[in-house]
A = this chain, B = another copy of it.
């Protein structure tokens, strides 16, 4: 039996790198996920524990938060580029990068490459829904101004991701401002007939409220709109928590009640804190890539590694390729 391939993690990405990345990686490894870190040996090396430390691969450069696509193209020795090559050359099963999502996207396209029939990869996020299920939403912000054909490929990729998460025969919805067939904008009205030709269960137009209530398993949209949806949900969650804190602080019985509810509130925040769910997964590249938030803490790093590991174990990339082939063969 060959050893299992590790998850390869960029130690240099994110606001609090490398400290929180190392901490999250060490925790993941302690739970049985093999991890390889990539970063500057002089900086990362001293942070590693003596026992059971992740393997460290040296990378001489690191991408900054404001480095654009051009800079990333030139920086072949940047940690994020080295991470992608480890996966491309089959020394790792998945890539996990925090911080500059644009750099992660560019590196993945350059060094891993995209699957056949994929125009551009999409970022998929998983949202909790009110009935305890999960909603795969894509594109979460990688591509604005999408042509209908791009939304079609997002549907195929998103369905493969939902399957890797354990959803059988996932129901695919198109994000719109109303569920009637004639609703939507120019883009979605051109997309819906194309989606209906896919070998997938397409439920039609879905509003955000219905999607978050379980009306579909995969929600397809333009990256501009998807990003707005995600940040509106995050903003609402913050507002609600602030209002609730304020209401609770109004009288002593509220404080006592809040004390009795401490555990419930903590679990609640963990479930609502979508960052902690491991970040977005890049779909359409020839390898599993998790793009985590720049503000990731050690919990989020651990969760991101966990998401990457499970996606790799479930054969996410093969699943995407299968869906794309089935669709291409139809022509």
Contacts and interface: CB of A to CB of B under 8 A. Distances in A.
Interface of A: 127-132, 141, 144-145, 175-178, 184-186, 188, 207-213, 221-225, 227-240, 242-244, 246-248, 250-251, 253-254, 256-261, 263-265, 267-268, 271-272
Contacts of A244: 264, 268
A176 B223 CA distance: 11
A212 B240 contact: no
A93 B223 CA distance: 43
A145 B187 CA distance: 9
A292 B242 CA distance: 27
B144 A177 contact: yes
Contacts of A239: 127-130, 212, 272
* Interface residue SS majority, chain A: helix
Given A208-B231, A208-B232, A247-B263, 5 more contacts: A129-B239, A232-B236, A237-B240, A240-B240, A257-B260
**Copies per complex?**
2
A174 to B, nearest CB: 12
A233 B247 CA distance: 20
A222 to B, nearest CB: 8
B247 A235 contact: no
A257 B221 CA distance: 41
Contacts of A238: 130, 209, 212-213
A228 B224 contact: no
Contacts of A211: 235
A225 to B, nearest CB: 6
Contacts of A235: 130, 208-213, 233
Contacts of A246: 132
Contacts of A208: 228, 231-232, 234-235
21 contacts: A127-B239, A130-B243, A141-B177, A177-B224, A177-B228, A177-B231, A208-B232, A209-B235, A209-B238, A210-B235, A212-B235, A221-B228, A228-B228, A228-B232, A229-B232, A240-B240, A244-B268, A248-B261, A250-B264, A256-B257, A260-B260
Nearest to A66: B180
